[in-house]
Structure 1
Amino acid sequence: MMPADLPDSAAFGATLTIDLDALISNWRLLGKRAGTEASAVVKADAYGIGIEPAVTALAKAGCKSFFVAHVSEAIRARKVAPDATIYVLNGLLPGAAETFAAHGLSPVLGSHEELLEWASFRQTGAQVRPAALHVDTAMNRLGLWPGEGLNLARERSGVIAAAGIGLVMSHFASSEVETDPANARQIAAFAEIAAALPEVPASLKNSSGHFLKDCPSYQLTRPGYALYGGNPTPGQPNPMKPVVGLEATIIQTREVEAGTQVGYNGRWTAKGKRKLATICLGYADGYPRNGSWTDTSTGGSVLIDGVSCPFVGSVSMDLIIIDVTDAPADAAKRGASVTLIGGPLDLETVGGGAKTIGYEILTSLGRRYQRRYIGG
């Protein structure tokens, strides 16, 4: 335990600010846009912001359904949302039915084997929540083939009935690309499935699906990335509010001369006299090493008093070196804060600088940050 009088600035090298009011606002916006009930996808520790605070805030705001990837995540969500419906997207692992029943969880069944195992468990008289049926319309990852799903749906009294299906769903492969013809094919394929099970609520829209033309909302939508401030309409203005901000502290500054090599393996060389600063954050905190800026490739950057300052050299485990030559001297000094996520440095920009996507930036947010929750 840290001493009670230890200041946060001494205990943590970086601060992650999470705006729960913005999270709730994004959820409400998507539900209003869809004109139907919006659930919340809270897998991967609620995309890095924390399952417990995210689920607590959303449930308080009226969210009734949550989706996670693993049973362990579902159990955490259940503790703070005792009345919610909690679906486990990764399906029913062999022998896991009793755990689902014990915690009131709903498996997303995506194979005939899973359907049979769940139906058999229900026939023992076990008290379980309704399961979801996943039909694969494009991803070739999880789910029944469309033809298989249609055949089972048309049987009505067969294994789908025995499994107690309370939701039928599919997952878009390219919904963020509005012009991709795969979207129309998936919408049409899923419409057949939903029509074959008219008494079962359906779910198709993910975050970007809320912005696709001619895409039915059905009874439930499943936003994820957009809830956390990610842009569901790449290349267009982001309709979502930012949820996360990240700042780190400058530990040390120094001046180097032209020709000085910086960082591991000397991968960046100063082209002139430069002022450098080192911040207390690295790839162990979830910032990808691909954000390194070398002599031959660009990388990430920070904002100091509104001035963009690039990384220089390799992102190391606990530290990043920044070229702060162009920043105001009084804002680029030992103990000052720099912005890594926030303002113009939105998730998409940060992801691009690290040669990845905003999803990875979010879900990699480290556990060594001081986490500051506001709102909610």
Structure 2
Amino acid sequence: MKNAPTIPPRCWAEIDLAALERNLRRIRQALPPHIRYVAVVKADAYGHGLHPTVARLMHAGADLFAVANVAEGAAVREIGPGWPILVLGPLLPEEAEFAVHYDLTCTVSSFAEVDRLDQVGRQAGRALPVHLKIDTGMGRAGVWHEHAPALAAEILKRPHLSLDGVFTHFSSADCDPEFTDRQRRLFLDTLSRCIGIADRRLLIHTDNSAGLESLAEDGPINAVRVGLLQFGILPHESSLLARVQPDPVFSFHTRIGLVKTVPAGTGISYGRTRVVSRETKLAVLAAGYGDGIPRACSDRGRVLVRGRRCPILGRVTMDQTVVDVTDVPEADLGDEVVLVGRQGSEQISLGEFSHWADTIPWETLTSVTKRVRRIYRTGLS
């Protein structure tokens, strides 16, 4: 069909790319000048959309990118050449040749990975860049810290591997500063015992957004991995993060699909989990858990209608959500409803929305589904 009109969205997310660029600059200003900026863009850039997000971060001056797997790395490489791309997760055996093809840097946690990647490098006729990951207490990927010096020595012996970085992952930077400090000291001690790396120009990184508060200005650490903070979300309260004052990048919207009034005693939605005690004006929203409104928000969450907070009634269903707009008598069919973001003088933060859903902002962002249209605001920062 030629020249078919664009169907207006029933549910959409707005992504403010200018705010993203401002956040990167503010984070840089809050960090020591020698620290390199690793932009973490895994999981479709935390649900913001990989291509527009990465393109803006490239424009804004990110030093390198980090992704979860080879497929994500390949997608970033297609956007622009020249930037180093670190694959944070372990590679499946058949993925190594694609890492070579797309010029990706692989993470190494075991001797078996060293053998496999060295062989792939030999077949490619060049040395493959790798980062050694050290497990300092996360208990996930990474070589256990006691065995890290031996693995580092093995990497340095391999002619078709190039050790370009060493890192660890803090498990509790947002809630346990004592354990984070213990992990940091253990990492630095382990690093000092890795013979042969002191004279190499390596990228040394330990901190994500939550760990920036305890980052030391001196010492070997010369990079940070920034994910959530660049999208305007504070992982926890701290003086450094407060200084950054990031702007929200993401907001979440839908519309009223139906307005009706029901008498007292009416049960709302599946299971009649809520029975109204008064005559109630209802707005049926054109979005549900099939769009990214978590079912856990049932009878707990709030939305903004004409700048006022209105409670969700009953269970959130796949395609619709019912809210009480009795106290907003002017609410009408087609009105915009804000799930996350600002409307008038009121605001619902992503953290508040996630709290109602018994989850964390990371999961909320990556749970907004494909049928939610992303609308990009591309103004100057």
The reply to whether TM is greater than 0.5 is yes
Structure 1: how far apart are the matches of 2:154 and 2:327? 69
Aligned pairs for 1:1-376 within 5 A: 4-8=4-8, 12-35=9-32, 36-127=35-126, 129-153=128-152, 157-158=156-157, 163-177=161-175, 179-195=176-192, 196=194, 197-198=197-198, 199=200, 200-212=202-214, 214=216, 218-234=221-237, 239-293=245-299, 299-327=300-328, 329-330=329-330, 332-343=331-342, 344-375=347-378
Could you say what secondary structure the match of 2:226 adopts?
coil
Structure 2: how far apart are the matches of 1:252 and 1:262? 14
1:33-72, Cα deviation, whole Å (9 max, x unpaired) = 2221111100000000111011111011111311111211
Post-superposition offset of 1:224: 0.7
CA RMSD of aligned residues (A): 2.2
Structure 2: how far apart are the matches of 1:149 and 1:165? 13
User: Gaps spanning 5+ residues in structure 1: where?
Assistant: 294-298
User: Gaps spanning 5+ residues in structure 2: where?
Assistant: none
Structure 1: how far apart are the matches of 2:102 and 2:189? 33
1:284-319, Cα deviation, whole Å (9 max, x unpaired) = 1122111111xxxxx211012321111111111111
From the superposition, tell whether residues 156 and 336 of structure 1 become closer, same or farther in structure 2 (CA, over 3 Å): closer
Structure 2: how far apart are the matches of 1:259 and 1:69? 50
Structure 2: how far apart are the matches of 1:75 and 1:326? 51
| 8 Å contact kept, 1:100–1:128 | no
Structure 2: how far apart are the matches of 1:265 and 1:235? 43
Could you say what secondary structure the match of 1:39 adopts?
strand
Post-superposition offset of 1:230: 1.6
Post-superposition offset of 1:3: 5.5
Structure 1: how far apart are the matches of 2:367 and 2:356? 15
Structure 1: how far apart are the matches of 2:46 and 2:63? 19
For 1:296, the equivalent position in structure 2 comes to none
Could you say what secondary structure the match of 2:135 adopts?
coil
Post-superposition offset of 1:6: 4.2
From the superposition, tell whether residues 155 and 122 of structure 1 become closer, same or farther in structure 2 (CA, over 3 Å): closer
Post-superposition offset of 1:25: 1.7
Identity %: 32
Structure 2: how far apart are the matches of 1:91 and 1:240? 32
TM-score (norm 1): 0.90
Post-superposition offset of 1:184: 0.8
Could you say what secondary structure the match of 2:369 adopts?
coil
Aligned partner letter, 1:20: L
Could you say what secondary structure the match of 1:183 adopts?
helix
| 8 Å contact kept, 2:310–2:323 | yes
From the superposition, tell whether residues 288 and 97 of structure 1 become closer, same or farther in structure 2 (CA, over 3 Å): same
| 8 Å contact kept, 2:128–2:161 | no
1:328-358, Cα deviation, whole Å (9 max, x unpaired) = x22x110101100103311110100111111
Post-superposition offset of 1:217: 7.8
| 8 Å contact kept, 1:33–1:210 | no
Paired residues, number: 364
Could you say what secondary structure the match of 2:376 adopts?
strand
Post-superposition offset of 1:95: 3.0
Structure 2: how far apart are the matches of 1:289 and 1:2? 39
| 8 Å contact kept, 1:153–1:193 | no
Aligned partner letter, 1:243: V
Aligned partner letter, 1:289: R
